[in-house]
Structure 1
Amino acid sequence: MTLPSLFVAHGSPMLALEDNGYTRFLEQLGQELPKPEAIAVFSAHWDSPDQSVSVDESHGTMHDFYGFPEAMYELRYPAPGSASLTQQIGQLFDAGNLPYQPVLGRGLDHGVWVILQKMYPNADIPVVELSVDSRRSPAEQYAIGAMLKELRQQNVLVIGSGGLVHNLRMIGQSEEADPWAVEFDEWIAGQLESWKLNELFDYDKKAPYARQAVPSYGTEHFVPLFYAMGAADDDRRAERLFQAYQYGNLSLNCWMFGS
């Protein structure tokens, strides 16, 4: 069975406790997709110059945020790891001449568990977390994702977890979406639907309001998009499954790539 790859916005950690249109969408998405054998997640909250791969047999739950209600710190997502998937990822990185670092004992950050506890609340599907490197070029990030494209044919779900418009210095309390955020998202959507890699790789120069949407201090939230796209390099199709906003411009979107 061949699964798609996904880009999933993880928004605010509070999504873990919220019941809204986006959380209900994620719950439904987990029910509608064929159940994967395992899940590999590139997370914005693991930004490292060394490609890193989790190797835990069972994962702890990182509460890598502060100032939230106490109930947030009580949440756990005790998903198992997968030695076989970790080994296969390592072999694929070796074949692509990509050095990588096995990491033991880190736990799953909230870029992973917040979305997975909505999609797969039983925490019974093995998970391998992978780092991103926001300092690499988009073409390099895409190429790293492409190294894992064959995993999709083995019923492994590859996810990039981040946020296309994610500028915490500009969020407010408006229930209406800020026009600049919408314009940026729609420009990205146009390029994705046509798989215009050259345009997307130069998004920071060509997309409207790119500096507001993807500030220089926050590119790690945007780049999981390229890893997820790369994982569908053999089936270049993109479909937007969901789009909404919180706090005026925090983009909650989900893109599906490939079949």
Structure 2
Amino acid sequence: MTMPSLFIAHGSPMLALEDSAYTAYLQRLGRRLPVPKAIAIFSAHWDDPQQLLTDADRYEAIHDFYGYPEELYQIRYSIPGDRKIAYEVQNLFQQGNLKFKTVPDRGLDHGAWVVLRRLYPDAEIPVLELSIDSKRSPMEQYEIGKMLAALRGKGVLIIGSGALVHNLRLSGDQGPAPQVEAFDQWVSDRISQWNLSELFRYDKLAPNVRDAVPSYAAEHFCPLFYAMGAADNERTAKRLFQDRRPGALNLDVWQFGGTDLGDL
């Protein structure tokens, strides 16, 4: 069974509490996907110059945010790890001459657990979290994802968790900011066409890029390239869902490779 690779926007940590069209979609998606053997998730909230990956028998949710309702801090999400899959990932990184380090005593940051809790509320599927490096070039990020492509054929679901439009400082009093529409369309077109030569230069070519992805939030765009790289052998892309929030925060779900999941 070949699993797809997914890019899923996690938005605010409040995604864990809210009842919306987007959270309802993630729940349907979790039920529609073939049951994965394990999940490998790249999170925008684990940004490090060295490639890091977790390696433990069980993980707990990290509440790595502040200023939110107390109810959010009471949420617990305990999910098993899979050291066999972690070992396979390490072997693939070694084959790709990528230096890495395992981190056995780390939980799951909210970029990982908020998404996983919506997809798999029963927390039964083993998970492995991987860091991203926002200082690497998009091509390098893509190549790291590509190293893991073989895992999809072994039933491993690969997810990149971030956001393609993520500017929390742009006012949303009048709904979605119009200046990011051109950026969103530009990026969507090039993802659909698998136009890597332009996507890899999105920060120079895309219109209104600093309105949509300011420099302080660039790490949220990076998981896209890891997720796409994991489907390099198929190079098919489909946006499954989009929720445009007020201001400049789009919540997108993209599928790369695998069987078309259709409309949910």
What TM-score results when the alignment is normalised by the length of structure 1? 0.98
Q: Distance in 1 between matches of 2:114 and 2:180?
A: 23
Q: Distance in 1 between matches of 2:43 and 2:238?
A: 21
In the other structure, the counterpart of 2:139 is 139
Kindly provide the amino acid, as one letter, of the partner of residue 89 in structure 1: V
Q: Distance in 2 between matches of 1:173 and 1:34?
A: 40
In the other structure, the counterpart of 2:231 is 232
More displaced 10-residue stretch of structure 1: 165-174 or 43-52: 165-174
Q: Distance in 1 between matches of 2:50 and 2:168?
A: 26
Kindly provide the amino acid, as one letter, of the partner of residue 181 in structure 1: V
CA contact (8 A) 2:168 2:248 kept: no
Q: Distance in 2 between matches of 1:115 and 1:100?
A: 25
CA contact (8 A) 1:49 1:133 kept: yes
CA contact (8 A) 1:47 1:133 kept: yes
In the other structure, the counterpart of 2:250 is 251
In the other structure, the counterpart of 1:34 is 34
Measured after TM superposition, the shift of residue 148 of structure 1 is: 0.1
Measured after TM superposition, the shift of residue 13 of structure 1 is: 0.5
Q: Distance in 1 between matches of 2:82 and 2:186?
A: 37
SS in 1 for 2:167: coil
Q: Distance in 1 between matches of 2:173 and 2:35?
A: 37
Q: Distance in 1 between matches of 2:97 and 2:156?
A: 22
In the other structure, the counterpart of 1:97 is 97
CA contact (8 A) 1:117 1:123 kept: yes
Percent identity of the aligned residues? 56
Pick closer, same or farther for the CA change 1:53–1:171 going to 2, 3 Å.
farther
**Map of 1:51-200 to 2, 5 A cutoff?**
51-174=51-174, 176-200=175-199
CA contact (8 A) 1:163 1:221 kept: yes
Measured after TM superposition, the shift of residue 247 of structure 1 is: 2.7
CA contact (8 A) 1:5 1:231 kept: yes
Q: Distance in 1 between matches of 2:78 and 2:222?
A: 26
Q: Distance in 2 between matches of 1:255 and 1:171?
A: 26
Measured after TM superposition, the shift of residue 206 of structure 1 is: 0.7
Q: Distance in 1 between matches of 2:243 and 2:182?
A: 13
Measured after TM superposition, the shift of residue 182 of structure 1 is: 2.2
Q: Distance in 2 between matches of 1:219 and 1:38?
A: 28
SS in 2 for 1:14: helix
CA contact (8 A) 1:60 1:105 kept: no
Q: Distance in 2 between matches of 1:230 and 1:166?
A: 22
SS in 1 for 2:234: coil
Q: Distance in 2 between matches of 1:148 and 1:171?
A: 38
In the other structure, the counterpart of 1:49 is 49
Kindly provide the amino acid, as one letter, of the partner of residue 203 in structure 2: D
Measured after TM superposition, the shift of residue 171 of structure 1 is: 4.3
CA contact (8 A) 2:168 2:247 kept: no
Q: Does 1:3 align with 2:3?
A: yes
In the other structure, the counterpart of 2:262 is none
The Cα RMSD (Å) is 0.9
What TM-score results when the alignment is normalised by the length of structure 2? 0.96
SS in 2 for 1:204: helix
The superposition leaves residues 150-188 of structure 1 with CA deviations (integer Å, 9 ceiling, x where unpaired) of 0100110000000001112214344x3222222211111
Unaligned 5+ runs, structure 2: 259-264
The superposition leaves residues 47-71 of structure 1 with CA deviations (integer Å, 9 ceiling, x where unpaired) of 0000000011100210000000001
Unaligned 5+ runs, structure 1: none
